[in-house]
Amino acid sequence: MAAFKDFNFKLVVIDVLMYEQAFLTPAFDLGARMRERGIDIPAVYVLENNIDDEVLDESRAFFEELEIGDELLAEVETLCFDAGQEIYRHCAPAWGGEDDLFDIRSLDDLALLPNLKRVTAVDDGTLVAPGKWEIFAACGIEAS
């Protein structure tokens, strides 16, 4: 199983495999899990408890422990670094996208994605890794 170095990079990969392509199932649903505990609106809960600027422990534990096999990683051909990804709603339901909570600072995990061909939102999203344009070019990955 692949070992990711950057948790936030892993989240972007999971977003593709779980919420876009539905290869990782069942999809993690924070809202459903919180309703089971009597919490109707996750965003209100985190705001009232002043934990809106962090990844919820339940979400972090789930996604950190989630194992992704090489065969699934080979399915990833496109990544989007947009701050509006579905997975972020399941990690920090009131996150406004204006801070560095989900910033990706390293592209070391690119090696885990042998068929990655294209990345988007390189300058407009959560990707802040130094030398990102040069790294993508060296890997033959189309970046926009």
Q: Which residue, 73, 69, 80, is CA-closest to 141?
A: 80
**97: number of CA atoms within 13 Å, CB side?**
13
Q: Give the contacts of 38 (CB within 8 A, at least 6 positions apart).
A: none
Return the pLDDT at 7: 98
Tokens of 36: 């089971």
Reported confidence tier of residue 2, pLDDT bands at 50, 70, 90: confident
Number of domains in the chain: 1
Reported as a single tens digit per residue, the pLDDT across 18-65 is: 999 999 999 999 999 999 999 999 999 999 999 989 999 999 999 999
Return the pLDDT at 23: 96
Q: What percent of the chain has pLDDT over 90?
A: 94
| CB-count burial class (<10 Å; 0-12, 13-18, 19+) for 119 | buried
Structural domain that includes position 70: 7-143
The answer as to whether 92 is a domain residue is yes
Q: What percent of the chain has pLDDT over 70?
A: 99
The answer as to whether 1 is a domain residue is no
> What is the pTM for the complete model shown?
0.95
Helix pair angle (57-65, 7-14), 10° resolution: 80
Instruction: Determine how many CB atoms are found less than 10 A away from the CB of residue 101.
Output: 18
The answer as to whether 2 is a domain residue is no
Tokens of 10: 């892993």
Return the pLDDT at 115: 98
Q: Give the contacts of 65 (CB within 8 A, at least 6 positions apart).
A: none
Return the pLDDT at 126: 94
Between the alpha carbon of residue 3 and those of residues 65, 69, 73, 114, the distances in Å are 10, 10, 11, 14
Q: Give the contacts of 42 (CB within 8 A, at least 6 positions apart).
A: 30, 31, 34, 93, 94
